A and B are shown apart, each in its own frame.
Chain A
Amino acid sequence: MAKLPVNLTVNGDEHDLLIEPRKTLLAVLRDTVGLTGTKEGCSTGDCGACTVIVDGKAVTSCMVLGVTASGKEITTIEGLASDGELHPVQQAFINTGGYQCGFCTPGFIMASKALIDENPDRTEEEFRHALGGNICRCTGYTKILEAVLKAAEEIRTTA
């Protein structure tokens, strides 16, 4: 089918694009917008590597058609830092070493940011459960969880 006009706001920047309806939001972000921080893992919604935030909600971008994201506000891992300062969740992942190969990290950070925005007061068990849609094959999750809890604490105390 012919390409359709799509207006995406990604990390605050508007993009007027022409995209094929069959392209997922993930493919549009990576191949058309050129932001490759968002990763494609399983491509079936199981691993969470492609997590981005759409209108404030964390979603798996491999399960969204790019055309249906028209007019929506999208935040990717590239949009978290501001004025050269990393977001507290990013900084916490670095400080605790919450990553090894790094492939799942953008997805984990975006999912964690959305969870903390929604409610930073979750217990460790609640964060662990809420991050069940993100898979890491390196770390064993201990350091990731430590990073998320530290970030939540920091955001709680500075809020």
Chain B
Amino acid sequence: MKSFEFYEPTTLAEASRLFAEEHAQLLAGGTDIIIGMKALTETPETVISLQKIPGLTGITTDSDSINIGAMTKVREVELSADIQQHHTALAEGAAEIGSIQIRNLATIGGNIAHASPAADTVAGLLVADAQVDIASADGERSVPIDKLFTGPGQTVLTPGEIITRFRLPSPASCSHYIKHKLREVMDLAFIGRAAAVILDNGTITDARIGLAAVAPTPIRAVEAEDLLNGNAPTAELLEQAGEAAAAGCSPISDLRCSAEHRREMVDVLTRRTLQYALERASA
């Protein structure tokens, strides 16, 4: 690892000012960045730890949303009774990351800011319609999670901007996450996907499908959602939704699996996650 200047600011304004400089790197849980720094793929001149800034950790509930601080450990997200109950796909996605030792370090903010198309928490946040709160020395703003990513490792965040919080609006729908992978633990997703549905008298009123690792950024399967909304969930409809989701993604071939396989599995797994989410919604 190359040498760097290390800072532990105690305010967001100070962290933002330091982070706006060139070759600066934020440190949240460290589980991505420290590995990159060891491999010399990341060679920051300054590293700014967010650990000492108050107010960035923890899960709170208010009247219209569940709020997750960006520095909240992924393990805490996974084990939170509120997240498990109201945003099941997010809890299930968090539980898929690395090992317990890694989830005790990794933060949800880091998992999202790293902007991997395969991040395990992203599909759950997509179907929760999460708002991403962002702070900088100039002020605050909020971006919907499906507008955050611009490419692999790329986001709309400008120099000095720091993700502070995820707000998950209520009422939550019933959701489910499936990670298509080779190993039971410690693996990257071939495909990660979540589905959420709200059922009203047997009709789907709000279907949301989040897809990871099948396009340059995590995406919502909008065409499939449009097909579902306003209709009763029949086997035929779910099949059409699966086909629409597969047609709407743009996967790559890599050493984990081929684009053709990914596309085929998007079809299959869309139907399957929808089925699970519908079972939960009617239970």
A interface list, Cβ under 8 A from B = 1, 4, 20-22, 24, 43-46, 48, 51, 57-60, 62-65, 67-68, 111, 114-115, 129-130, 132-134
The answer on a CB contact under 8 Å between B186 and A65 is no
Q: How far is it, in angstroms, between the C-alpha of A125 and the C-alpha of B98 when the chains are bound?
A: 18
Stretch at the interface among B53-61, B99-107, B162-170, B201-209: B99-107
Shortest distance from the beta carbon of A121 to any chain B beta carbon, whole Å: 15
B interface list, Cβ under 8 A from A = 1-6, 8, 27, 30-31, 34-35, 37-38, 47, 49, 51, 75, 98-102, 104-105, 184-186
Shortest distance from the beta carbon of A80 to any chain B beta carbon, whole Å: 17
Given contacts A43-B38, A65-B30, contact A133 B100 (CB under 8 A): yes
| Chain A residues touching B, majority SS | mixed
Q: How far is it, in angstroms, between the C-alpha of A115 and the C-alpha of B3 when the chains are bound?
A: 35
**6 interchain residue pairs of minimum CB distance:** A133-B99, A132-B185, A21-B6, A57-B104, A22-B1, A60-B101
Shortest distance from the beta carbon of A52 to any chain B beta carbon, whole Å: 9
The answer on a CB contact under 8 Å between A58 and B100 is yes
The answer on a CB contact under 8 Å between A21 and B47 is yes
Residues of A within 8 A of B100 (CB): 58, 111, 114-115, 130, 133
Closest A residue, CB atoms, query B104: A57
A-B contact pairs, 18 of them (CB 8 A): A20-B3, A45-B31, A48-B101, A57-B104, A58-B101, A59-B101, A63-B30, A63-B34, A63-B102, A65-B6, A65-B27, A111-B100, A132-B185, A133-B98, A133-B100, A133-B101, A133-B102, A134-B99
